[in-house]
Amino acid sequence: MYTTVPNEGSTYGFMPVFLSLAGDQGIKSITAPSVSWNRSAGVTATFRYYRYWGLFTTAQAIASYSTNINRNFWLQYDDAPRIAGGATTDLVLHVRRNLFYRFFGLGPDTTEAGESSYTRLTGVASVRRGYNITTDFNVGAFLELDGDRPERHPIKGLPATQDLYPTAPGLDGAFIMSEGLSLRFDTRPSGDYSVNGLASELTGALIQGFLGAGFFSRITWHTRLLLAETSRLQFGARLWWSQLLGGGDDIPFYYQASLGGEYLLRGFTEDRFIDRAAWEIEFEQRVLILETHLFGVVSDWRIDPFVAAGQVYGTEPPWAHVRASAGLGLRVWIPPNVLGRIDFAYGGEGIKVYVMLGYPY
């Protein structure tokens, strides 16, 4: 086993993967325990279980324990049938202590030299309940509780965030509750793994701070397009925007909009840019190179170049400090819903490598 993301560096280990097949329906479940080593986290024991009842009904359970700092417990259940008049349910419970967080300051023009490190203890509990007005259009309400506490455990060689940015909002921790509405429109027959389709979600939330924050609101819009050009070529595009309203200057930095990481503006470190608002647009050209048939499992091997641009902003114009990146993805897709990817991306601060499961969108 080998994984890497910019914030964590390289992780090496052993991970047997047990697949349970559901006949022609693809993979029924994945069980993947592992033992791994990372220079900063030490030895980590992890248990992973993924259950697939169908394309739109899935669950996962992940638990891990490291000899240095890191702990993780994550339960998630998603049931989103494409039936007019049907109900949808999304549940998340996630508790995590992680030493790989970075902070570069607030605003779009922060520099790479301003990198600092901190550990964060975070907990999330959320539920969304939706109703399908049509097979493609869903209206839902959600409730989420978030608690966070930054800790002074920096990565060796980096200054502690508490020392380099002592006035950053949120260093004493925060606890908030978010409630809101979301509108989802999705014509993709297989979600992220579809050949064609358009997905768009508009979310509005009111957020009350019980500790370390006041009252503010958030609006987020996320749109994705997939288009089959030929049997071997597929075009993908994504537009994402998020905006905070109210709250003054006291909103903890980890609740503000951010760019960078394995999903938004690949080519930069996770949370590389943080501010009250952010946008990102990107395009991918997905190219099928080879199809294999091993042990009754069909696998598509792909090479996917991509480009992206985006910016965080507060009081300045949203086009004043635009950042851009480009890269190449090496992907293996096992129909209907399992994909492994290695993305190489460059945004002007060195080549970033992401080894992940699932499409970025």
Q: pLDDT tens across 18-47, in order?
A: 988 877 667 789 899 999 999 999 999 999
Q: Residue 335 — left, alpha, or beta (φ > 0 → left; ψ -120 to 50 → alpha)?
A: beta
What integer pLDDT is reported at residue 86 of this predicted model?
93
Q: How many CB atoms lie within 10 A of CB 122?
A: 17
What integer pLDDT is reported at residue 25 of this predicted model?
67
Distances (CA, A) of 348 to 81, 259, 314: 42, 15, 23
Instruction: Round to whole Å and give the CA distance between 275 and 286.
Output: 32
What integer pLDDT is reported at residue 3 of this predicted model?
83
pLDDT tens digits for 91-104?
Answer: 999 999 999 999 99
Angle ∠(106,172,152) on CA atoms, nearest 5: 85
What integer pLDDT is reported at residue 143 of this predicted model?
98
Cis ω for the linkage preceding 336 (within 30 of 0): yes
Is residue 277 within 8 Å of 197, Cβ to Cβ?
A: no
Residues of the chain with pLDDT under 50: none
Q: Which fold has domain 2-357?
A: Porin (2.40.160)
Is residue 221 within 8 Å of 202, Cβ to Cβ?
A: yes
Pairing of strands 34-38, 27-31: unpaired
Q: What global pTM score does this model have?
A: 0.88
What integer pLDDT is reported at residue 298 of this predicted model?
83
What percent of the chain is modeled with pLDDT above 90?
A: 80
What integer pLDDT is reported at residue 346 of this predicted model?
96
